Amino acid sequence: MSATKLTFLGTGTSFGVPQIGCRCAVCLSDDPRDKRTRVGAVLESNGSRILIDTPPELRLQLIANSIDRVDAVLFTHEHADHTHGLDDVRGFAGAGSALPVYGPAETIASVRHKFAYVFDPAMRGLPGTSKPEGSTHALEAGVPVTIAGQEVTPVEVPHGTMRVFGYRVGPVGYITDAKELPPAADAVLKGVKVLVLNALFRRPHPTHLSIGEAVETARRIGADRTFLTHLTHRISHAELEAELPDGVSPAFDGLQVTVQ
């Protein structure tokens, strides 16, 4: 079995870290692990790359990680911090080469509306210009599919009043913007070697796992390694790392994890 490489492009919340106008210790930190762009990741196996979400800093994230192409995009949900960098795929998706884009049906409908020029073949650029091109595919929770040669199972989780798709891709489970993991999600994720979970504050939050809830969820799933993402400016990387149990670590922008 070939190895899977997980690259964390961004690990911050919708505000990013540092936040605009904030003078807190984390926002002013010199630790590069405290610089958190909006959340996204790339999974690579057998030369195939799947991009999870298109955050607003996507161009800078791809350049920083020397990623010059991806073969497909998985959207978790339609919020701006997960979709508004979609135009940046023009660097490798255009001129008749449509990038396949997958996600929940309502998210697909949203990105088709917000980025109609990407998905409507009737919208053509003038000669000498370029635009990104994509094709859309709605997924069903719990139904495995093969995307760019990788086996992908969508995992439905609640996020306030909306649903979000996390994904199991081979030995990796990737969950962001979840308030909890329902039993059906647990069943899909059992046996992953690496688990990624969102973790917002120490205190409970109405739409996200808290740090404590994420740790308890990690124990329940039982992955060899769990990484926390979607982190805020309320806690530094070093501080969070010191308080987490063995097997659970904060992710940071640019972190690469190889899973055999």
Tell me the one-letter amino acid at 235. I
> Residue 61 and residue 91: Cα distance in Å, rounded?
13
pLDDT at 36: 98
What is the pLDDT averaged over residues 177-203? 97
Q: Chain-wide mean pLDDT for the chain?
A: 96
Residues 6+ apart with CB under 8 A from 228: 196, 197, 198, 199, 211, 214, 240, 244, 248, 249, 250, 251
Prediction pTM value: 0.96
Q: Tens digit of pLDDT for each residue in 66-115?
A: 999 999 999 999 999 999 999 999 989 877 789 999 999 999 999 999 99
Q: Tens digit of pLDDT for each residue in 191-225?
A: 999 999 999 999 999 999 999 999 999 999 999 99
Q: Tens digit of pLDDT for each residue in 145-172?
A: 999 999 999 999 999 999 999 999 999 9
Q: How far apart are the first and last CA of the chain?
A: 7
> Residue 173 and residue 30: Cα distance in Å, rounded?
31
Tell me the one-letter amino acid at 217. T
- Domains of the chain as residue ranges with CATH: 4-259 (3.60.15.10)
CB 37 within 8 A of CB 13: no
Grade residue 121 by pLDDT with cuts at 50, 70 and 90. confident
CB 55 within 8 A of CB 82: yes
pLDDT at 2: 84
Q: Tens digit of pLDDT for each residue in 22-60?
A: 999 999 999 999 999 999 999 999 999 999 999 999 999
Closest CA to 101 of 67, 129, 74: 74
> What are 103's two structure tokens?
């996600």
pLDDT at 1: 62
Q: Tens digit of pLDDT for each residue in 234-256?
A: 999 999 999 999 999 999 999 99
pLDDT at 125: 80
